[in-house]
């Protein structure tokens, strides 16, 4: 059974959650990635292992964390290890299947900027920075990205390379000696994108209900490529929507309006 009333953000989160399975070991970013991963855990992927940068493994938060240092993560984790162990043994050891990241700026090849907007030495905006995202982007077997579409965020050329995606496209990762797959999925509030097998340029494979190609192009800073056959993203089910809304409501009550979603 499907639901008629849902927001673009809800569609984005639920579409992203569907890409995860119980077999995944997922390194989770704060914000939209965290919401998507926990919806997956609470619905179709109960066996998924969620890992956060602070060293929590197998965490199952009842509310969405405000940061990687949120006590909710440690309290609900199977175990917590040191940050050096997390990165050296788990991440760089190739034990994590999915890195789930957000972005302030993104280009067509999945390169991410979360450092500065404008010139690095005289930025218009200084962003929170990469944290562990650069290592996640190169060491996880594949990377999923979620973000709202806008011409400010999806740009022809990012201002700073925080997390390396497919670089200039094609086999750029391999030429640099990076053996992992890299960005394999982009889910926005309007569409689902996957990289072209050869060029690695993100291509629209599915548009959310009611979205037009014009809307996708108007909110993207590069000329959008559409797959030969573009599907319609299935709308949220009652279970998916109720799970997400309940999670967000618990988060709202716990954090006094400072939601992690």
Token pair 């602070």 in the structure block, residue: 54
Global pTM exceeds 0.85? yes
Residues 142, 180: contact at Cβ < 8 Å?
Answer: yes
Length of the chain: 261
The pLDDT score that the predictor gives to residue 60 is 95
What number of other Cβ atoms are within 10 A of residue 54's Cβ?
20
For 192, list phi and psi in degrees, rounded to 5.
-115, 130
pLDDT of residue 205: 98
Instruction: Note every long-range contact of 245-253, with CB atoms under 8 Å and residues 24 or more positions apart, other chains counting.
Output: 245/10, 247/35, 247/38, 247/39, 247/42, 247/63, 247/64, 248/35, 248/64, 250/62, 250/63, 251/63, 251/64
Asked whether the beta carbons of 114 and 42 are under 8 A apart, the reply is no
Spatial separation of the C-alpha atoms in residues 250 and 113, rounded to whole Å: 31
- pLDDT value at position 4? 57
* Burial category of 160 from C-beta neighbours within 10 Å (exposed 0-12, middle 13-18, buried 19 and up): buried
Question: Please, are residues 144 and 101 in contact by the beta-carbon 8 Å criterion?
Answer: yes
Cα dihedral across residues 184, 186, 48, 14: positive or negative: negative
The residues, any chain, with a CB within 8 Å of residue 14's CB and separated by 6 or more, are 6, 36, 39, 236, 240, 241, 244
Say how far apart CA 16 and CA 31 lie, in whole Å: 13
Residues 6+ apart with CB under 8 A from 19: 144, 185, 187
Residue 200 has what pLDDT? 98
The pair of three-digit structure tokens given for residue 202, joined into one six-digit string:
């993100």
Q: Which sequence positions are flagged as catalytic?
A: 53
Core vs surface per residue 133-150: b (16+ CB within 10 A) or e:
bbbbbbbbbebbbbbebe
Q: Report, as ranges of residue numbers, the positions in the chain whose pLDDT lies below 50.
A: 1-2, 259-261
Ordered domains of the chain (ranges, CATH): 8-255 (3.40.1080.10)
In this prediction, residue 257 carries a pLDDT of: 54
Distances (CA, A) of 11 to 17, 174, 221, 248: 10, 34, 22, 14
Helix (H, G, I), strand (E, B) or coil at 94: coil
Q: Find, among 79, 91, 97, the residue nearest to 21 by Cα.
A: 97
Number of H helices, E strands in the chain: 8, 14
């Amino acid at each position: 059974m499907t639901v008629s009333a849902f927001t673009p953000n809800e569609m984005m989160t639920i579409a992203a959650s569907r890409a995860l399975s119980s077999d995944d070991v997922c390194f989770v970013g704060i914000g939209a990635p965290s919401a998507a991963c926990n919806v997956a855990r609470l619905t179709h992927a109960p066996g998924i292992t969620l890992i956060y940068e602070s060293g929590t493994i197998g965490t199952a938060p009842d509310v969405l964390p405000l940061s990687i240092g949120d006590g909710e993560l440690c309290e609900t984790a199977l175990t917590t290890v040191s940050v050096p162990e997390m990165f050296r043994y788990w991440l760089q050891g190739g034990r994590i299947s999915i890195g789930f990241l957000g972005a302030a700026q993104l280009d067509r090849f999945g390169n991410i900027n979360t450092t500065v907007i404008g010139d690095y030495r005289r930025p218009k905006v200084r962003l929170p920075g990469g944290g562990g995202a650069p290592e996640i982007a190169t060491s996880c077997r594949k990377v999923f990205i979620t973000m709202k579409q806008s011409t400010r965020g999806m740009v022809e050329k990012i201002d700073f390379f925080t997390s390396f995606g497919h670089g200039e496209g094609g086999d750029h990762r391999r030429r640099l000696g990076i053996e992992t797959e890299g960005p394999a999925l982009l889910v926005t509030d309007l569409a689902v994108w996957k990289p072209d097998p050869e060029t690695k340029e993100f291509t629209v494979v599915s548009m959310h209900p009611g979205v037009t190609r014009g809307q996708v192009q108007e909110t993207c800073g590069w000329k959008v490529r559409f797959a030969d056959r573009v599907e319609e993203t299935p709308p949220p089910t009652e279970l998916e929507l109720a799970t997400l809304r309940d999670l967000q409501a618990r988060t709202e009550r716990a954090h006094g309006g400072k939601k992690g979603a």
